[in-house]
Chains A and B, each alone.
Chain A
């Protein structure tokens, strides 16, 4: 179980990282083509005129997908920030219970958000909504990624609550400390 969950978070995290790499590659192609055209025009030959179609919209969608797909992995690696003024001052057992309750509240919110984004994606699918730019991207695709990321995040938050109640202290440290 533990292994399966960690694998799930990691896979979603890799997908998220892949989205960032995709942004990098697309923008690099665009800027590279612009540089090439500069060179070609100054040599007096015709420019290629290449541009990544719909880059701004697609880049935005990739960022959204990356953000939400990475939520669970970010939680598991304790990178989401929180204020721990109160929790760190409590004795161990009450703190674990409070952490568990807070993780459950978080899970409820994330579950609600999962439902909301899934409904949004379903509606976009039903109506065949597409984006406005040079490439008509079906909106259900990126919106589905957001919903999927939130679903994994919900699972991770429940996982977090179980860990806290069972006395495992994973969440009480502070960020990536320096």
Chain B
């Protein structure tokens, strides 16, 4: 089977299965089995078993159910309500008001979590119901969450930067530091956009919902204290050397349980409820990841991504043209593969090109993460979209539409990074000046 027919068949299988309403993890499984038709001599069952097995039993991934669980506990406690009620008077004058909680919340949570799914799920579980209750427009709430949830990848720790660093033999410490400034800038871009959108279209915001609390600023600030305690506890455990980023998720659960208990809430029934809900959501996401891993393996066997990358290599492009072509290439792949898969499947072909074109490999890592962030919010395969569909029940295509402006901001960030490479390189250069 030639590569063109195969690509068409794979795309048709995925869109067909999804359009009929097959559950996402199973649709990916079906797509992978179709892709494997091109290599009839391969043992499909064994490939499936090995992919499911190795994708679902990853230690790095164990942080995901723990953070989901933490979110479920907080959702059932007074903490989320208190947090929003406390922040409301403080943010009254900021255009966009409480929508910024999504962005700032994700940016802070990104410093704990290495994945965008965990970031989106945990913050969204707390913020979306509160924003809805207060009458904020669905689209801006969902879009800002989907967009800023991707910060989990850029702000350290970051699983994808670890994978990239190992693949191209770059220092993970430098990559982590390099992600900080672009991450903060991106969060500011998102906040700027939300402010602008709120000013231009006041109907996105509820009229006066946030001024009901007639408390002093001090009292309001006190309401935020448990949330601050939680964040400091988890971040402190990582950077103070008490826990690895994966273990820190468990510390989050423990602190959340303590806070919920101390606030007088959380009966045993609520505890069980939260645990079962976390088990289900984590199974939903991990099963999709297993399906995606099977697609990745099948793609590896078909050689499709490698051939596409090789085709770009054969074009002999100038550095900027190459960058442009790669961005398009990753965006197309990003519609069908998750970020880590894109990196492992293509680096061996692409990195020599990138090296030759004279790009700094630390800089390229940051560029790649931002492009992967864009892939997280493009349908049909976009993990942040899946997570938000799980949270809201809205369709991924509708969610993707709400997220489109934030996709645009990520694209703008790619351009900024290309024009000002120091955005990524300034901090690592300054902090590791000896080497």
Contact = CB atoms under 8 A, between A and B. Distances in A.
Interface of A: 13, 16-17, 20-21, 23-24, 27-28, 30-31, 34-35, 38, 56-57, 59-64, 66-68, 70-71, 73-75, 77, 79-87, 98-99, 101-102, 105-106, 109-110, 112-113, 115-117, 119-120, 142-143, 146, 173-178
B22 interface: yes
Given A20-B275, A74-B284, A82 B52 contact: no
A20 B65 contact: yes
A150 B59 CA distance: 21
B243 A117 contact: no
A53 to B, nearest CB: 14
Contacts of A23: 62, 65-66, 250
B23 A60 contact: no
Contact of A67 (B20, B254, B290): B290
Given A27-B250, A70-B283, A83 B396 contact: yes
Interface of B: 17-27, 29-30, 33, 45-46, 48-50, 52-53, 56-59, 61-62, 65-66, 69, 128-129, 132, 237, 242-243, 246-247, 250-251, 253-254, 275-284, 286-288, 290, 380, 386, 389-397
A16 to B, nearest CB: 5
A105 B22 CA distance: 8
B395 A60 contact: no
A23 B27 CA distance: 29
Contacts of B129: 178
Contacts of B243: 31, 34
B53 A60 contact: no
Contacts of B65: 20, 23, 63, 66
B283 A66 contact: yes
B102 to A, nearest CB: 14
A31 B25 contact: no
A175 B390 CA distance: 5
A13 B58 CA distance: 20
